[in-house]
Amino acid sequence: MDRQKKFLLFGAAWVSAFLLTWFLYAKAVAPQQEKMVKVAVATRDIAPGTLLRTTDVKLVNYPERDVPKGVVFDTKLATGRVVLVPLNLNEPVLASKLSQSTSVEGVASMIEPGYRAVSVPVSDVTGVAGLIQPGSKVDVIFTRPGSMAEATTSIILQNVKVLSMGKTVQAVQTPDPKAPKAQVATLVLLPEEAQKLELAKNEGKISLSLRNPLDNTANASTEPMTTEVLDPMISARLARARRGRTTAIGRANLDDPNVWQELTGEKKPVDPRKVAAEEEARRKKAVEPEKPKAVVDVFRGDKHTQETFK
């Protein structure tokens, strides 16, 4: 009986060892069977503004755990739509990178419905030294020129998307330093924002300030900034000048309109009583009759002449 139990224990140990060995082999050595799904990918490098055709996308097997959110699973859902951002070879096609269904190809298809594209001139200074690229977010700053009393600056538009710089609609990772810099930036705006920008372009100077693309906060204060931030005492000096209580120049100079405008940036106010007095003097001078003249008859022999004396 003891011998039979020993054989049973020995057999059970062999079976346990076999099962443990098979389990470890299945987990560590045997190939893993991972679930795959078919997703749409680009068959080539595709630039923004390109209308996708059937040859531009294909279905490939993709690990289910690595499938990005919003990917297109059917090529029919991608064809006939315009690419909004660059697509690389074999990159999964996301619905967020495509426009709505359209049959129009080109940059105009990248403008969302309800928006408009407006261009503004830029330079190295107003365009942040060429750091602004297509797809960047910017604020639009308007500066009204003039004297110290008139100059103002304010942020008129915030968090605006840049559609293109010049004719470039694709951001370049390593810009060519020899390439000519864009002189025009095209912004995507609502119609009322486009009107505001066009008015500002004609009234003063436009500059762009670059934003962090993840920063969607808006400046709560949009009040124009005046020259008081540079010279806090300018208002007091202008007030004294308007009242004529300045020690810098005399009263005689304050009566000179040119001196007044140079000091205050404004035209000297006109005294209506002085204007009325000057007008009355001119009117009297125009209608005043000429003084009578003295006429003397002069006889020299048989000759007769007349001499007139004032």
Per-residue pLDDT tens over the stretch 201-217: 888 888 888 888 888 88
Query: Which pLDDT does position 277 carry in this prediction?
Result: 78
Q: 153-174, pLDDT tens digit by residue?
A: 888 999 999 888 877 776 655 5
Query: Which pLDDT does position 249 carry in this prediction?
Result: 47
Query: Which pLDDT does position 238 carry in this prediction?
Result: 66
Residues near 105 by beta carbon (within 8 Å), at least 6 away in sequence = 49, 50, 51, 82
CA distance 224 to 151: 10
Averaged confidence pLDDT in the chain: 76
**If you average pLDDT over residues 211-230, what whole number do you get?**
77
Query: Which pLDDT does position 189 carry in this prediction?
Result: 92
Comparing C-alpha atoms, which of 158, 213, 219 is closest to residue 187?
158
**If you average pLDDT over residues 269-274, what whole number do you get?**
64
Half-sphere exposure of 255 (CA within 13 A, CB side): 4
Q: Where are the domains of the chain?
A: 1-32, 36-110, 116-226, 229-264
Query: Which pLDDT does position 191 carry in this prediction?
Result: 92
* Domain topology for 36-110: Type Iii Antifreeze Protein Isoform Hplc 12 (3.90.1210)
195: left (phi over 0), alpha (psi -120 to 50) or beta: alpha
Q: Is the pLDDT of residue 82 over 80?
A: yes
Whole-model pTM? Answer: 0.53
Q: 7-36, pLDDT tens digit by residue?
A: 677 777 777 877 777 777 666 655 556 788
Query: Which pLDDT does position 187 carry in this prediction?
Result: 92
Range among 49-53, 292-296, 302-306 with highest mean pLDDT value: 49-53
Q: Which of 115-129, 241-255, 290-304 comes out lowest in average pLDDT?
A: 241-255
Q: Which of 3-7, 55-59, 101-105, 288-292 comes out lowest in average pLDDT?
A: 288-292
